[in-house]
Chains A and B, each alone.
Chain A
Amino acid sequence: MTAIRIGIKKSLKMQGKQIKQLTKQPFLLTLILLILIFFFVFAVYPIFQVLKIAISGEEGFSLSNLKEMITNHAFLRALWNSIRLGIISAVLGTAVGFLFAFAITRTEMRGKKFFHLMALLPIISPPFVIALSMILLFGKNGAISNGIFHLANSNIYGMGSLIFIQTLAFFPIAYMNLRGVLESIDPSLEDAALNMGASRWKVFKTITFPLALPGVFSALLLVFIKSIEDFGNPMIIAGDYETLAVQAYLQIIGMYNLSSGAFFALALLIPAFTAFLIQKYWLSKKSYVTVTGKPSQSTIKINEKYIVYPLFVLCILATGTILLFYGSVAFGSLVKVWGIDHTFTLDNFKYVFTLGFDSIKNSLLLATISTPITAILGMIIAYLIIRKQFIGKKLLELSTMLPFAVPGTVVGIGFILAFNEKPLALTGTAFILIITFTVRNITTGIEAGTNSLRQVDPSIEEASTNLGANGIQTFFKVSLPLMRSALFSGLVYSFVKSMTSISAVIFLVSVHWNLITVSILSQVEGSRMGAAAAYVMILIIIVLIAIGILQLVVNKLGPAKRRK
């Protein structure tokens, strides 16, 4: 009894201490408050609006209504399917991502720059087009299945294809996250072990991998959430394998039942948050600090053939698959009728140009505005989460996760419900699109940022403040450069996803702010595959140029000491 009382007293005291500390730093306090308000208004509130619709049903709220939905056979099947798919895709995606990241940061492999670029390509995964090239390559009449192997009856619809496509589409998220983590592990630890005679395998097993665990966990979490939330791929390729995200979409779009669709979609939060909590629990138990500010020598990179060659083969295989898919899209954009008449033509591009550049320009402009906001804000939040103690931290983490974990359709509808009327009448503006991009894409940046910072000894920052720098200077001059790789991931992911997202924005585009993905979808639905492919090629070129520019910008940040 007394123990409990003491415990409560202690925690109250702690909270009091935290508040006192915060009031001493008015700038920090304001910042935290502003960020909390921002996420409350633009993440929690819209989704709460959807929740209201989900539980009220058609005849108002009733528990039996809710019970009926939860025990519904189709609902449970879809939920289970989603979870199973999510777990398998997360494991495979993280494994491939880890191999790529390890090969690129730890070995003397050839063509690392090329592999790096190729691993970023699939995050573009333009709506519907990749699933379509799957049909053209491996379908019944596919170029590979029928053309090369003469399989007259290959059936590509189902869970297997879906896992394959999702692994391909989502491993870059794992890669970006893990690359940052592996890069910031201080190599002197590994070197020391090697010098003392440990084998490469032992170094990996006892040092590299355990230290990379936070990255592995957050990669698993991110891919898991993306996989269960995805509806574009399962929509085309899943066949009879029903998933919750697709069922939610179909309830809303096909059955005109906003309420049960919202319910299905929000049910996805249960596995998503369970995964989130498991991850946080694991991570809270250990310290992962390796960057201490003490001078460290460049690592002895792995050059042994028996390690490099298998990794090289794996990278080639994955890259080859990516090139096959994107190459077939490029091919489709340059022929008369994709899959039928392969006469070379530029007509598809000419046709796209006659439709005008407005949607392309809009997408580019809005992505350019939202990208730095998203990435920098993500780094600031990561910094606050790892370095500062404040009340509402868990709340902040959860609310930044919310719009990422809910299917885009629900985010889009939630935004209309929340911001269609005064005082916050934002529908139809560019602002609402920028905000959507920000809240939906910030999570990967935060995850990458927290993982990087977890490895950095806070005494480095303390040194900076002791030498007279204020908090802002320390953040921009010390912490941010140390999070460089995470910042890059945040920037790239946010830019690419802003350019290519469809499910949320389809509800938010307006006559003055139409976007390229909506144009692509329209071409797909109008059976103009060539034109859709041409749009995708334009998209890919823009994204590659942007990645180049972002890499340059990020490299400028701080000395490129451990960069090779």
Chain B
Amino acid sequence: MAKKLGLIISMVILSLAMTACGSEAGKSKSDELTVYTALPEQEALYYFDEFEKETGIKVNFVRLSAGQILARAQAEQGNPQGSVWYGSPSDTLIAASELELLESYKPENADLIPEEYTDSDWDWTPVYVGALGFASNSEWLEDNGLEPPTSWDDLLKPEYADNVSVAHPASAGTAYTVLATLIQLKGEDEAFDYLKSLDKNIRQYTQSGAAPARDAGLGEVAVGIGFAQQILAPMEEGYPITISYPEDGTGYEVGSAAIIKDGPKEELENAKTFIDWTVSKEGQETYSKGGYYRLPVNEDAEIPKGATPLDELNLIEYDAVWAGEVRKEITNKFEEEIGSEDEAQ
């Protein structure tokens, strides 16, 4: 009996000691960080290794698509499992900030980031920029003796009939950026007129934003519309793709990062360190060091070789915040006007 009692007491003490340790660890700095990222696994791994080299903080991460991270953060609200949300288009983060899922934080190098990319409350932080471009199948261009398209109107030419691919704006942030860009460039009515004409040349509205560039590489379509990094990645893999940009004006996505509200307490400091690092010169230059084609937002950072710097493109003044706010309306309108026309065919 006495033995049993002794055992119980020592167990209670042990468990108390352990919880004490636990809470102490909670207060003191953990050397780990939990991240949800929408970047490709191998690419994210590279950045996180660089981050660990610099700061000694080990990043554990889960790779999900941007929309999945949002759904997950929404469901996990109350007891979030992740600290940082890294590398997804700003419109998902705008949606998240409306749902009050994000913790506002202004990083150290905030003043080096152009204001047009940033959120006024710093609920999220821009980390890269990618311009919209056209991926054309090089072999197809050669066979047909054509030059790659250099304007949005080029895509309406009969040569491209049933041979253009873009993602569906309701399913992919990439395609929504295309839609929002056209509206900002041409005005809403004219943009929808344009899309109706373009619809005749569209072979398929894909679900994934990366698919059109890949389909162009495979020869499934002649031209795919996507962000530069989505086009340059299969190019690098060896797919015969020629990249070009609309000279009459193109939009861009602002890839962003944020701290998740009420995430693991012991990781909060590390989360801030991570956000600071991603926009620092060193952090931003990992894009070019690792051979990835994301354009840095920090004006001091070097631009990756092979990527076209934004100032060589005719960029529109893309209003990401506006685009995030009217998303639902516009995609619904797209579904109604362009979708219903499909029905009629």
Contact = CB atoms under 8 A, between A and B. Distances in A.
In the complex, which of the residues A157, A246, A254 has the most CB atoms of chain B within 10 Å of its own CB atom?
A254
Interface string B197-212: 0000001100110100
Contact of A252 (B63, B67, B215, B339): B67
Interface in A491-533: 506-507, 509-512, 514, 518-519, 522-523, 525-530
A411 to B, nearest CB: 12
A240 interface: yes
A146 B16 CA distance: 70
A522 B126 CA distance: 22
A522 B75 CA distance: 22
B45 A341 contact: no
A141 B68 contact: no
A155 B217 CA distance: 17
A416 B71 CA distance: 10
Interface string A426-441: 0110000000000000
Contacts of A337: 237-239
A253 B65 contact: yes
Interface in B267-289: none
A258 B79 contact: no
Contact of B218 (A135, A240, A246, A250): A135
A420 B42 contact: no
B88 to A, nearest CB: 12
Q: Please tell me the size bucket of the interface on B.
A: 35 or more
A141 B220 contact: yes
A172 interface: no
Contacts of B65: 253, 525
A526 B209 CA distance: 11
A148 interface: no
B56 interface: no
A72 B18 CA distance: 56
Given A254-B67, A341-B238, A526-B41, A417 B75 contact: yes
Contact of B220 (A135, A336, A519, A529): A135
In the complex, which of the residues A235, A256, A530 has the most CB atoms of chain B within 10 Å of its own CB atom?
A256
B204 A258 contact: no
A525 B81 CA distance: 24
In the complex, which of the residues A140, A427, A527 has the most CB atoms of chain B within 10 Å of its own CB atom?
A527
B219 A511 contact: no
Interface in A272-303: none
Interface in B146-186: 162, 168, 170-172
B190 interface: no
Contact of B79 (A135, A420, A509): A420
Given A256-B67, A355-B41, A420-B75, A525 B210 contact: yes
A421 interface: yes
Contact of B207 (A236, A252, A339, A509): A236
A522 B39 CA distance: 8
Contacts of B208: 525
A527 B234 contact: yes
Interface in A325-341: 336-337, 339-341
A528 B240 CA distance: 15
A551 to B, nearest CB: 34
Contact of B68 (A253, A340, A510): A253
A347 B71 CA distance: 35
A76 to B, nearest CB: 13
A153 B81 CA distance: 48
Contacts of B70: 253, 256
A560 B162 CA distance: 59
Nearest to B77: A420
Nearest to B215: A135
B31 to A, nearest CB: 14
A136 B239 CA distance: 14
Interface residues of A, number: 54
A510 B210 contact: no
Contacts of A8: none
B331 A514 contact: no
Contacts of B78: 420-421
Contacts of B75: 258, 413, 416-417, 420, 507
Interface in B214-272: 214-215, 217-221, 230, 233-234, 237-240
A256 B95 contact: yes
Given A250-B171, A507-B72, A141 B62 contact: no
B76 A416 contact: yes
A239 interface: yes
A417 B75 CA distance: 5
B64 interface: yes
Contact of A523 (B41, B76, B171, B203): B41
A250 B71 contact: no
Interface in B103-124: none
Nearest to A339: B218
B41 A519 contact: yes
Nearest to A336: B238
Interface in B67-98: 67-68, 70-72, 74-76, 78-79, 81, 92, 95
Contacts of A428: 81
A266 B34 CA distance: 32
B233 A526 contact: yes
B238 A340 contact: yes
A519 B41 CA distance: 7
A34 interface: no
B244 to A, nearest CB: 19
A527 B224 CA distance: 14
Contacts of B237: 337, 527-528, 530
A355 B42 contact: yes
A517 to B, nearest CB: 12
Given A256-B67, A337-B237, A522 B76 contact: no
Contact of B81 (A141, A235, A427, A527): A427
A85 B40 CA distance: 33
Contacts of B214: 527, 529
A552 B238 CA distance: 45
Contacts of B239: 337, 340, 527
B63 A258 contact: no
A252 to B, nearest CB: 5
Given A139-B218, A522-B41, A527-B234, A253 B210 contact: no
A355 B41 CA distance: 9
A194 interface: no
Contact of B63 (A257, A522, A529): A522
B60 A511 contact: yes
A74 interface: yes
A316 interface: no
A169 B43 CA distance: 32
A240 B40 CA distance: 28
In the complex, which of the residues B40, B168, B240 has the most CB atoms of chain A within 10 Å of its own CB atom?
B40
B329 to A, nearest CB: 11
Contact of B34 (A235, A239, A511, A519): A511
Interface of B: 34, 40-43, 45, 60-65, 67-68, 70-72, 74-76, 78-79, 81, 92, 95, 162, 168, 170-172, 203-204, 207-208, 210, 213-215, 217-221, 230, 233-234, 237-240, 327-328, 331, 335, 339, 342
29 contacts: A74-B335, A141-B219, A141-B220, A153-B162, A157-B204, A250-B168, A252-B67, A254-B170, A256-B70, A256-B327, A258-B74, A339-B217, A340-B218, A340-B238, A340-B239, A341-B238, A355-B42, A420-B76, A420-B81, A425-B79, A510-B62, A511-B62, A518-B64, A525-B40, A525-B65, A525-B210, A527-B239, A528-B40, A529-B214
Interface of A: 74, 135-136, 139-141, 153, 155, 157, 235-236, 239-240, 246, 250, 252-258, 336-337, 339-341, 355, 409, 413, 416-417, 420-421, 425, 427-428, 506-507, 509-512, 514, 518-519, 522-523, 525-530
Given A250-B207, A257-B328, A421-B79, 12 more contacts: A74-B339, A157-B204, A253-B68, A255-B331, A258-B75, A337-B238, A420-B78, A420-B81, A506-B64, A518-B62, A527-B210, A530-B237
